[in-house]
Amino acid sequence: MADATIKGLTASTEQFDGSDLRVLIVHARWNWTVIEPLVQGAVKSLASQGVKESKTAIMSVSGSFELPSTVQIALSTGRYDVAIAIGVLIKGSTMHFEYIAEATTQALMRVQLDARIPVIFGVLTCLTEEQAQARAGLTPGGHNHGLDWGLAAVEQAVKATRIV
Ligand code: DLZ
């Protein structure tokens, strides 16, 4: 069934300057046709806020379950101000979806709290392939959530530098 509306992030009234930020994107390769536009959306959004291509690192992992450990190891190097973890989980006929979604979500939260570095949650947990496509902006009336994740990344990283 088609979604009535796909929500997106309401823009902040404040502009955030990403030109000094070092950004890490870690993405899964499962459901690649949806992952690819989401990563492109995040990169476009970062660039529109001044994040330099030379300061944007992109790493891939096999599936969403691998996102937390890779983000954790990468953040431990001290080379990044913020990370975006991108994955697409689509419900199948077994309990796999529930276990991976729960474990990945909890672990990404723990990684950002332990690292004290923002980790943007770019994991779609969809019941159907069509839901995922709409959230990657691939179908009419859809919206690419990668754009929102790029906005959230710059906002969180800039705010974190103000706090410390
Ligand atoms: C095994 C699996 C399944 C069934 N579905 C997905 C999915 O929809 N999206 C995703 O990102 N990864 C999936 N995986 C792979 C797991 O995330 C993980 O890569 C493997 O279980 C190996 O640890």
* pLDDT in single tens digits along all 164 residues of the chain: 455 578 899 988 899 999 999 999 999 999 999 999 999 999 999 999 999 999 999 999 999 999 999 999 999 999 999 999 999 999 999 999 999 999 999 999 999 999 999 999 999 999 999 999 999 999 999 999 999 999 999 999 999 998 87
Ligand 1 atom with the shortest distance to the CA of 61: 19
Q: What is the pLDDT of residue 3?
A: 59
Classify residue 105 as exposed, middle or buried by CB count within 10 Å of its CB (0-12, 13-18, 19+): middle
Active site residue 96: yes
Identify residue 111 by its one-letter amino acid code.
V
Q: Which atom of ligand 1 is nearest to the CA of 65?
A: 17
Classify the C-alpha dihedral 73-23-63-103 as positive or negative.
positive
Atom of ligand 1 nearest to the CA of 64: 11
Q: Measure the CA–CA gap between 63 and 67, rounded to whole angstroms.
A: 7
Strand partners, 124: 88
Task: Indicate which residue's Cα is closest to atom 23 of ligand 1.
Answer: 65
Going by C-beta distance under 8 Å and a sequence separation of 6 or more, which residues neighbour residue 162? none
Q: Which one of 67, 89, 121, 123 would you pick to mutate in the ligand 1 pocket, going by the greatest count of ligand atoms within 8 A of its CB? A: 89
**Are the C-beta atoms of residues 156 and 120 closer than 8 Å to each other?**
yes
Edge-to-edge strands, sheet with 82-90: 56-61, 23-28, 82-90, 119-126
Supply the pTM of this predicted model: 0.96
Q: What does the alpha-carbon distance between residue 150 and residue 155 come to, in Å, rounded to a whole number?
A: 9
- Ligand 1 pocket, CB under 6 A: 28, 30-31, 62-66, 87-90, 92, 96, 100
